Amino acid sequence: MSQADPSPAQAGPYRRVLLKISGEALMGETGYGIDMNVCGRIAEEVAAAARAGTEMCLVIGGGNIFRGLQGAASGMERASADYMGMLATVMNALAMSSAIEAHGAETRVLSAIPMVTVCEPYIRRRAMRHMEKGRIVLFAAGTGNPFFTTDTAAALRAAEMGCDALFKGTQVDGVYSADPKKDPSAQRYDRLTYHEVLARDLAVMDASAVSLMRENAIPIVVFSIHKKGGLADVLAGRGVCTLIQD
C-alpha cells in the first residue's frame, strides 16, 4: 500500500466531496500544459481516497492551456475566449481520468458542452448514479456558459451533487491575508466564515462561488494540493487547511 492510500479517511467527516483543482496545478515546473508526473501523483491520492470510501468528484480548471479572461484581454471576444477555456478543461479532465484509472479506480468524464464521442454529457442524475457506484466523476467544460469561472462551476456541481464539502486544492496550505509567496508577513487563517471571506475580499474563490456555498451550507476546505498525502490528511480531519463555514 502506498503512502497515499490511507484507510483512516474512512473515519473522516466527509462522505462525498468535490475537489476543485486549478489547471495551473497540473503544469508542475513546465510552465505550460500538463506534467503527467504531477497529474499522476494527484490521481494516485484521488484514487486512494475513493478506495477508502469517499465518493469523489472533480472540477479542474483550464488555465494551464488557455484562460478566457487573458484571451479577452488580448482582444478576443469574451464569450469565444471562455468557450476555448472550457475546452481546455475537457482536455485536463481526460488526462486526469486516464491517470486515475492507471491507479485502479473507475472514472467518468461528464461535459457541460456535449461531445459524445469524447465523454458523456452532463446529466445530474447520471452523475449521482456514477458516484453511488463508486466511480470518480470529473465535471468538464465548466457550467457550459461563458462569463462563469470553474470556481463557480465547482460550487454549482458541489451543490447539485449534495456534497458534504468543497475541497479547493491550491498552491499553498490554506487561506492567507495576502499572497504568502509575495508577502512574508501574510497571516494564515485556520477558520473563516463565508462572510469574512467576502468582506475581506480574500482570494479564495469567486464571490459567486462562496455565496453559493453559503446558501447551501457546504463548507469550503482549502489545502495544498502539492503536499504528498495532503488530500488523505484533510479528508481524515487532521491535515493543515483553512475551513470556511458559518
Q: What distance in Å separates the CA atoms of residue 9 and residue 214, rounded to the nearest whole number? A: 25
| Half-sphere CA count of 96, side-chain side, radius 13 A | 34
Residue spans per domain, the chain: 7-244
pLDDT tens digit string along 222-242?
999 999 999 999 999 888 999
Bridge partners for 176 per DSSP: 188
Whole-number percent of the chain with pLDDT over 70: 93
Residue 145 has pLDDT above 90, yes or no: yes
- Spell out the residues 6+ positions from residue 124 whose beta carbon is closer than 8 angstroms to its own: 160, 161
User: Mind listing the pLDDT tens digit for each residue in 193-216?
Assistant: 999 999 999 989 999 999 999 999
Average pLDDT over residues 112-125: 97
Residue 23, pLDDT > 50, answer: yes
Q: Report residue 10's pLDDT band, with 50, 70 and 90 as the boundaries.
A: very low
Our CA angle for 94, 97, 102, nearest 5°, is 130
Looking at the predicted structure, is the pLDDT value of residue 3 above 90?
no
- What is the domain class of 7-244 according to CATH? alpha beta
Q: Which of 74-78, 85-89, 166-170 has the lowest mean pLDDT?
A: 74-78
Q: Which residue has the higher pLDDT, 203 or 108?
A: 108
Bridge partners (DSSP) of residue 213 are: none
* Per-residue confidence (pLDDT) for residue 7, from 0 to 100: 42
Mean pLDDT across 55-80: 86
Report pLDDT for 4.
42
Please determine, for residue 11, whether its predicted confidence score (pLDDT) is greater than 60.
no
Query: Does 6 score more than 60 pLDDT?
Result: no
CB burial class (10 A; 0-12, 13-18, 19+) of residue 118? middle
Q: Is 37 exposed, middle or buried (0-12, 13-18, 19+ CB in 10 A)?
A: exposed
Alpha carbon distance 157, 165 (integer Å): 11
pLDDT bucket at 71, cuts 50 / 70 / 90: low
30 pLDDT tier (thresholds 50, 70, 90): confident
Q: Is the pLDDT of residue 1 over 90?
A: no
List CB contacts of 64: < 8 A, sequence separation 6 or more: 22, 23, 24, 25, 26, 27, 32, 33, 34, 88, 92
**Residue 8 reports pLDDT greater than 60:** no
pLDDT for the residue 137: 98
Is the predicted pLDDT of residue 181 greater than 70, yes or no? yes
